[in-house]
Structure 1
Amino acid sequence: MIKKHALTKLINNSLNQERRNFLKVSATGFATLAAGGLVKINKATAQAYQPYPTDNQLETVVTSCAHNCGSRHMLVAHKQNDVIVRLSSDDGRYQRDGCYGKDTDEEPQLRACLRGRAYRERIYCAERLLYPMMRVGERGSGKFKRVSWDEALDFIANKLIEIKAQYGSQAILDQSYAGASYGVLHKSDQIEGLQGRFLGMFACRTSCWSVPSYQGTTTSSRWTFGTIEDGNEDDTFAHSKLLIMWGWNPAYTFHGGNTIYYMRKAKQNGCKFVVIDPLYTDTAATFDAWWIPIKPNTDAAMMAGMAHYIFTNNLQDQAFINKFVQGMDADTMPEWSKNSPNGTENFKDYILGKYDGQPKTPEWAEKICGVKAADIRKLADMYAKTKPAALKACWGPGRNDYGEQYNRMAAALQAMTGNIGILGGCAEGVGKAWHAEGVAHPYDDYSNIWFSSIKSDRWAHIVNNYPNVTRQEAGLWPRDDNLDGVIPNIRGIFYQGSNWFNQLTNINAEIEAINKLDLVVCLDQTITTSGLYSDVLLPICTHFERHDVALPWYKGHYYIHRPKVIEPLGESKSDFQVFTELAYRLGNMTGIGDKFGQAYNPKATRDYWNKPDPVDEEYLRTWWEERVMHHQHVEMPWTEFKKHGVYKVKLERPHIAFQDQVELGLPFQTPSGKIEILCDELARINDWTKTRYGYHIPSIPKWIEPFESLNHPTKTEKYPFHLITPHPRHRTHSIFNNSAILRETYDQEITINAGDAKKLGISTGDKIEVWNDRGRLVVPAYVTQRCLPGVVAIPEGAWIDLDSKGIDRAGNPNMLSADTPSPAGSFAYNTILVNIRKTTLQHRAGWDETSISRTHVFGRDI
């Protein structure tokens, strides 16, 4: 039951009063009419509710959004007492020396997108988790009972001790991620997060080394450049003469919140835009881009065709290659490669067909990717001859089987044209740019301890097949102790700041696996899909209800103060409070007393459970003074930062990745000190079974056929459509799925080419059944010419809603995706073959069909 807040009471009281007045007038009027008399109609003055308080009646507090949707921009909370009445965003007045309307290239406004502006609905939503709850029915049934914090935490602590004693130090799987709990203090992720620190100190943790959004890209960037900070800040796009957006739709998933602003400036300066994508996106339409539709999962082949054209026409920047690149051609091969098991090939000779007898010509590429050879040559010519040019190789095409080869091939094109380290060029990749100081909580020798590390979406395969699982199947990270190569016997999962049960591949395999576990705990702000399959639900307060500082996500150079805007709703606590209290309980249960709790949260006593604010303040102040002010030479004191709410860092020059390497001769962060088209690490591997990859990966970028695509003649007989799963505009992955406001603007639907739809008798709005060997779902159709024939698209992130036969009525494409491992860690979200047909099966989208978005789950009759 959700506690009514002051604003709700205000509105309800007003509605009830107006209803009473209406009934009085109606009763009199109807009686008069019934008697045959005439009634004088007065001008209506009633209104549905009392007016909202005006801004001068409200307290204004600067804060931010919290999620990985493309930034983390400013939100301004307007509140009355302890209730947030509305949210606005940056208007220039809050920064130092700011004034209303200030908005410059140097200090741009940090305006929130529609998701952030809808956040008030998430705070007060029907699915808000307000009390600890424990499962009383089967997992997934939605049957829980309210319990006290003591009961919930004692249960968890006892189960942790029991599981560790019986199954060892690998038995608990850490599935935290930076979804709903991310700041410099209250942080959830695999490397720097609070949950990983807690489970590591307890000495029972299996971590996940792969990031679903861009693991293939991450691996590629580290191999090629030695870092994932391979991005420019977005203001540099304004200087590009050609912007190639490969799988990138910044109208929906901008990377850095002012991306579109700088792209508009580039357009005004004469920049040409190209979009390579199976869909004609809103970005392509907005910037009048040349749209090149491409078969999914074939991007590396098209890039190889472009490389062939550049090499055979001698358009490469040979001076750049000779100075900065390893392995581009025979003359840039290192001496050691002659004796390496994998290092004898160079990229140019591979492209020209020296090794396999197949030149990677545009005509060869056309047969694979479906793009005309003439268009491949035209684009290659444009890219090679235009300076500066930015090839923005975004993450979507990397979310495929062998997705890392797409990113490595893109890096080869970027390097061979000399567009790295220059203003208006581009080396990304992952694209992380300006580095923020990101950790305010304790981060020391206890942090990020793990006893096994697996590829994230292989956990279900491990549980379902244990102990008959190979190291390669698990994607085990190497260790230097007796646990190296040991397959974890996973008996429990902790979900923190993530809804990975909903978001990882092959949900049906996860359902089978989770029912075999002894403990599933979910720490979250709302009741998500992961929560429905948990044993214990722990209510975590939102970032409006605790003290923290927001970091830019991906790009941007600023810090935003996040004060506690309102008190935590219900009985919710912060993650830091929960893990601190669990540490004290475990210490007392295991006989070490308070030592565990004191080590986990050294600035606090156990009273942190009741009085977190002074401790949070001390952590944040120390972080600001010792890391931000000292390391980044920020002069604004902590008290002044809190007063303004935002600090925008003024850069001395545009932030360009690898500018110092190119201009000053500093080495790249690779073993060779160069851009490694020939990868040192891969070329020197003798035993692939000892790596986390498990399988051979070529030491240079190559086209490798994925496990399924439109080019598979036998598989396409049964499943003739290739499904891709782009990010939606109205959700951040699965966050905001239950937002009524956002759901009214966008539907969960399947996009189908008009020609394909005509053959199948499908019209927009028809219910469509989509299936393959892994699962089945129902979703409405959207028919359009803006989709390549043979390709269909369903946005990721919808919360699953299964019927009695296991068919998803909400339309989550991860019912259909495969958890097949790709050696470098890529997730195969866009490597999916399916079939489709019209159906009479039920589609239940959520709020729009069931009045309140998720409450039907708890009392449904299936």
Structure 2
Amino acid sequence: MSDDNDFNKLIASSLNMGRRTFLKSSAAGAAALTAGGGLLKTDKAEAQTYEPYPTDNQMETVVTSCAHNCGSRHMLVAHKKNDVIVRLSSDDGRYQRDGCYGKDTDEEPQLRACLRGRAYRERIYCPERLLYPMLRVGKRGEGKFKRVSWDEALDFVAKKLIDIKEKYGSQAILDQSYAGSSYGVLHKSDQIDGLQGRFLGMFACRTSSWSVPSYQATTTSSKWTFGTIEDGNEDDTFAHSKLMIMWGWNPAYTFHGGNTVYYMRKAKQNGCKFVVIDPLYTDTAATYDAWWIPIKPNTDAAMLAGMAHYIFDNNLQDQAFIDKFVQGMDAGTMPDWATDSPNGKENFKDYILGKNDGQPKTPEWAEKICGVKAADIKKLADMYATTKPAALKACWGPGRTDYGEQYNRMAAALQAMTGNIGMLGGSAEGVGKAWHAEGAAYPYDQYSNIWFSSIKSDRWAYIVNNYPNVAREEAGLWPRQDNLDGVVPNIRGIFWQGSNWLNQLTNINAEMDAIQKLDLVVCLDQTITTSGLFADVLLPICTHFERHDVALPWYKGHYYIHRPKVIEPLGESKTDFQVFTELAYRVGNMTGMGDKFGEVYNTKATRDYWNNPDPVDEDYLRTWWEDRVMQHQHVEMPWVEFKKHGVYKMKLDRPHVGFQDQIEKGIPFQTPSGKIEILCDELARISDWKKTKYGYHIPSIPKWIEPFESLNHPTKTKKHPYHLITPHPRHRTHSIFNNSAILRETYDQEITINTSDAKKLGITTGDKVEVWNDRGRLVVPAYVTQRCMPGVVSIPEGAWIDLDKNGIDRAGNPNMLTADTPSPAGSFAYNTILVNLRKTDLQHRAGWDETSVSRSHVFGRDI
């Protein structure tokens, strides 16, 4: 009997069940066993507790895709019964032309979705799904709304828009659209050619944002250095690399091309050596048996400068490449005009060797800043300079810092000085966009991307909280050629389309203060996000499974995926295009323009588009395919055949290598000089920084600049001794999928702490930890490991905030702690955060029942 009791206790403990619950279930189980004659009874069951799961031959199969900006955008196959998606699978080779089950080649690889895409069904049918128009009835952020009709909601928005524009002018509405949950060639949310920007621009009341949270430092660097952000290779080129330096890149979590891992595995098989520079020993480092070099956050430019010094000092640079293709690398590549420029006299080599400032940027100098041993800096520099081809993949994370563009510019300088640009197996990647897809199915015309002010995205709350006492350099204003140049916008309303920006921009507490000062906040989304809780109006947008579109590869890949309407829109949800078209008609009629506004906004539709969008969407997409894809890219597959197959995979004549034609054929780079600009023409010629969008001085060549806070600050680290980084999680795309119970049960929102730091603080894995600085506080569980360097802690970005009565975030969103301090080139300081931490009894809310499921994923960690 005692053995039975011990066994019962063991089972109860392993299942995390309460004693009373377990006794009830075990008693019922014992009764069932007794009635059935014991465990060996094998009679066939005659009943099931749920309806049998439909088999594939009972369901319709529809090819579609993922929809988010996760680093790729790949195939999903919906298996549906009537109008319900029962399950999702992915590419198995059979869907493209000449495809068959299992087809998977280097030229036409399978476009397999990751765990996020495969979990999408839960997002379609999630409890947070926004199904009806709603108006706020409580305080902003309180989450109290009432259901209203579309007529009531749209009339309310149209009238408020007109009132705000009349009172405050053409800059009063802030457009915060992004590529989060509404992105395709037709139903598109982004800052440049998105549907919301088109509507607000035509309405003549729009403040836009010019800085992209994910990679603005990298974008700025690539445009300065190469003249374009299309500086990348397609992933199949990685298979030809002999050395792969992954700087701040963890493709096990963020792909940057969905077949990245496939080609990197081929590179490994071909003998490629891998190096990972990161404060964390990532899953990528483990997978490829990489040489891990832990580095202090925000010091990457210093380490790169130390590598450059070693290369110059040992004459390992590719001088022939430099002389032919590079401006400003050394005295011999300086332009004639530079001698007369106050900002353009210094060349990169002189800076590295310390000829002007008396400080050579030696590996020993760099070691004191970045914490990497000088011997390791020299070893890596030698490997990179003497190995051809070698790929230095300078990823975005280290650029999401104060002066993050200097890291990317420094990396580009090393890519150029070693001659690894334009070479198969090499890399010029900063932004890394490669093959060019035809992006929009509606016209990009004189009505596209109209704005009357454009600010740095992370400065909006500062502008609202401090208006009118805001200088143009503090706002990061893009210059204009009219009387609005330098005018700081008086922002009175926000439109959120496909974006959860209150949750995802820096310094959430400042944003929550600013949002209370506005006259109108409109949220167009598919789920009720944390941003939505602060809105006045919630407009339900259908998912990409509920409308017709075509998917583009988001970052890399050369293919198009058809997105038919798989199911009818849930609830009363509509497409973004329907909503803005109808708003255009209403605003037009309220302002005396009649139907003209709506007719110009949606050129192929009448007002009946609200009730019957399918024929118009088909017309836009077919025209786009025939006039742009077939004509410009010489695709021979007709539109009808493309719809039948569901995917078109381009066969390239050769592997796509960024700037190969510039190097092999002498085509000029898209810079003012026609060369790779290590000395930047634009920056060297600026005389008044306050009249630029940057606002503050930026050196004309790459340089190491101390960030506003780091582990090297002796005073600041006394109060906040740990440096927090905020990498992307594997189980979310930023904040998308945060409400997926399946994915949340798989990966915890937690703080990663080095073993030695945890021991000093008395923290073990699973303990709740309070993390704070002067900007905010949060509570999150601990994961103690040796895979994080001492002094550094890590919390993944994207958790939906969940505030207690004291304003402490119980969900663990690190943007409670980030700063909206301006960085001149527009980089977001997501990884420039000093914090303190301690074990706590404060509540953490994981968002799912941690006691009801297996915790087996915790076991086996190095705790």
Is the pair's TM-score, using the shorter chain for normalization, greater than 0.5? yes
Task: Name the CA shift for 1:152/1:336 in 2 (closer, same or farther; >3 Å).
Answer: same
Q: What secondary structure, in the 3-state scheme, does the structure 1 residue paired with 2:715 have?
A: helix
CA distance change for structure 1 residues 259 and 38 in 2, over 3 Å: closer, same or farther? closer
Describe the superposition over 1:399-427 as per-residue Cα deviations: whole angstroms up to 9, x where unpaired.
00000000000000000000000000000
1:664 aligns with 2:686: no
What aligned pairs does 1:775-814 form with structure 2 within 5 A after superposition? Answer: 775-814=776-815
- In 2, Cα distance between equivalents of 1:674 and 1:258: 31
Q: Tell me by how many angstroms 1:845 deviates.
A: 1.5
Q: 1:33 to 1:626 in 2, by over 3 A?
A: closer
Check conservation: 1:442, 1:601, Cα contact below 8 A.
no
Structure 2 counterpart SS, 1:835? strand
Structure 2 gap ranges (5+): 1-26, 854-863
| Secondary structure, aligned partner of 1:523 | strand
Give the conservation status (yes or no) of the 8 Å contact 1:75–1:116. Answer: yes
What residue number does 1:105 align with? 106
Partner Cα separation in structure 2 for residue 588 and residue 851 of structure 1? 55
What is the CA distance between 1:443 and its match in structure 2?
1.9
Work out the CA distance in 1 between the residues paired with 2:336 and 2:555: 37
**Residue aligning to 1:436:** 437
Q: Deviation string for 1:719-776 (max 9, x for gaps)?
A: 0000000000000000000001101110000000000000100000000000000000
Change beyond 3 A, Cα 1:691–1:620: same
Partner deviation per Cα, 1:209-249 (whole Å, 9 max, x = no partner) = 00000000000000000000000001000000000000000
2:285 corresponds to: 284
Counterpart in 2 of 1:239?
240
Separation in 2 of the partners of 1:773 and 1:408?
A: 31
2:594 aligns with 593
* Aligned positions of 1:345-356 closer than 5 A: 345-356=346-357
Residue 539 (structure 1) aligns with: 540
Provide, for residues 457-490 of structure 1, a one-character-per-residue CA deviation record: whole Å limited to 9, x for no partner.
1000000000000111100000000000000000
Partner Cα distance (2:246, 2:38) in 1 = 70
Matched-pair contact (CA < 8 Å) for 1:667–1:673? yes
- 2:13 corresponds to: none
1:341/1:685 contact within 8 Å kept:
no
Is the CA contact 1:173–1:206 (under 8 Å) kept in the aligned structure 2?
yes
**Alignment-derived partner of residue 392 in structure 1:** 393
Cα distance in 1 for residues equivalent to 2:758 and 2:43: 53
Query: Which residue type is aligned with residue 753 of structure 1?
Result: N
**Structure 1 partner of 2:209:** 208
Counterpart Cα distance in 2 of 1:625 and 1:254: 31
Instruction: Give secondary structure in 2 for the equivalent of 1:56.
Output: helix
Q: Aligned partners of 1:594 and 1:414: how far apart in 2? A: 55
CA distance in 2, matches of 1:145, 1:415: 59
Corresponding letter in the other structure for 1:723: L
Measure, in 2, the Cα distance between the counterparts of 1:162 and 1:777.
39
- Distance (whole Å) between structure 2 residues aligned to residue 48 and residue 827 of structure 1: 52
Q: Which residue in the other structure is 1:643 paired with?
A: 644
Kindly indicate whether residue 665 of structure 2 is the aligned counterpart of residue 701 of structure 1. no
1:317 aligns with 2:318: yes
Amino acid in the other structure paired with 2:374? A
The equivalences for 1:462-611 within 5 A come to 462-611=463-612
Change (3 A) 1:316 1:134: same
Matches within 5 A, 1:617-766: 617-766=618-767
Cα distance in 1 for partners of 2:589, 2:267 equals: 61
Q: How does 1:179-328 map to 2 (within 5 A)?
A: 179-328=180-329
CA distance in 2, matches of 1:63, 1:619: 18
Question: In the alignment, is residue 143 of structure 1 matched against residue 150 of structure 2?
Answer: no
How far residue 38 of structure 1 moved from its aligned partner, in angstroms, is 12
Q: Deviations over 1:476-511 (max 9, x none)?
A: 000000000000000000000110110000000000
Judged with a 3 Å threshold, the aligned counterparts in structure 2 of structure 1 residues 836 and 40 are, in CA distance, closer, same or farther, namely: closer
Partner of 2:426: 425
Distance in 1 (CA, whole Å) between partners of 2:355 and 2:467 is 44
Structure 2 residue matching 1:827: 3-state secondary structure: coil
Distance 1:33 1:425, change over 3 A: closer
Q: Which residue of 2 aligns with 1:8?
A: none
The DSSP-based 3-state class of the residue aligned with 1:689 is helix
Aligned mates of 1:226, 1:32 — CA distance in 2: 75
Q: State how far apart, in whole Å, the 1-side matches of 2:432 and 2:796 are.
A: 23
The structural deviation recorded for 1:52 is 1.1
SS of the residue corresponding to residue 744 of structure 1 reads: helix
- CA drift of 1:70 comes to 1.3
Q: Which amino acid aligns with 1:131?
A: Y
Kept after mapping to 2: 8 A contact 1:733/1:797: yes
Deviation (angstroms), 1:441:
1.8
In structure 1, C-alpha distance between the alignment counterparts of 2:463 and 2:711, rounded to whole Å: 30
Shift in Å, 1:33:
9.3
Q: Is residue 49 of structure 2 the alignment partner of residue 43 of structure 1?
A: no
Does the residue aligned with 1:554 lie in a helix, a strand or coil?
coil
Q: Deviations over 1:37-93 (max 9, x none)?
A: 999977362443232111011000000000011110000000000000000000000
Provide closer, same or farther for how the CA distance between residues 82 and 147 of structure 1 changes in structure 2, counting only shifts above 3 A.
same
Please give the alpha-carbon distance, in whole angstroms, between the structure 1 residues aligned to 2:828 and 2:352: 26
CA distance in 2 between counterparts of 1:385 and 1:512 reads: 54
Q: Which amino acid aligns with 1:531?
A: G
Identity across the alignment (%): 88
Determine helix, strand or coil for the equivalent of 1:216.
helix
Cα offset, 1:848, TM superposition: 3.0
Contact 1:743–1:848 under 8 Å retained in 2: no
Question: What is the rounded CA distance, in whole Å, between the counterparts of 1:149 and 1:110 in structure 2?
Answer: 38
Alpha-carbon shift at residue 442 of structure 1 (Å): 2.8
Question: What is the alpha-carbon distance in structure 2 between the residues aligned to residue 797 and residue 433 of structure 1?
Answer: 27
Structure 2 match to 1:81: 82
Distance (Å, rounded) in 2 between the aligned partners of 1:38 and 1:639: 61
Change in 2 beyond 3 A, CA 1:83/1:357 = same
Alignment-mate amino acid for residue 643 of structure 2:
K
Residue 32 of structure 1: CA displacement?
Answer: 14
**Pairs aligned (count):** 825
Judged with a 3 Å threshold, the aligned counterparts in structure 2 of structure 1 residues 724 and 38 are, in CA distance, closer, same or farther, namely closer
- Could you tell me the TM-score, scaled by structure 2's length? 0.94
Q: Secondary structure at the match of 2:673?
A: coil
Inter-partner Cα distance in structure 2 for 1:555 and 1:32 = 57
Match of 1:156 in 2: 157
Q: Look up the equivalent residue of 2:43 and give its one-letter code.
A: K
In structure 2, how many angstroms separate the alpha carbons of the residues matched to 1:633 and 1:677? 36
CA offsets 1:119-147 (integer angstroms, 9 cap, x no match): 00000000000000111111111111100
Report the secondary structure of 1:85's partner residue. Answer: strand
CA spacing shift, 1:163–1:851, aligned 2, 3 Å: farther
Q: Which one-letter code corresponds to 1:790 in the other structure?
A: G
